[in-house]
Amino acid sequence: MVELNPSLTNLQEKLQLLIKHVTALEKENQQLKNSLSSHKEHQAQLDLQLKQSQADLTAAMVSKGNMNEEEKQKWVKKIDQYVKEIDHSLNNLNP
């Protein structure tokens, strides 16, 4: 019975260390989740700014009347491709 007490004490110390380690990992996990969420929001804001800038650029070019129909179609296709890429990126960020 004398040998059981040191074993129990050792076990208790190891359990306390394990609990501290798990708590630290949970805290780190939460911080990483918060960081990821922040990055996702920032990415979404940048994507919206990009879409708006592309739309503004196209509108300015069309309103100048400097483009012929072929150039207009080229820009429309290019912008559509950008929008598809942005939508794909957003879908990857928000599974």
Question: Quick one: what percent of the chain has pLDDT higher than 90?
Answer: 27
Average pLDDT (59-76) is 75
49-63 residue pLDDT tens? 988 888 888 777 777
State residue 81 phi and psi, 5-degree precision: -65, -45
Exposed, middle or buried: residue 22 (CB in 10 Å: 0-12, 13-18, 19+)? exposed
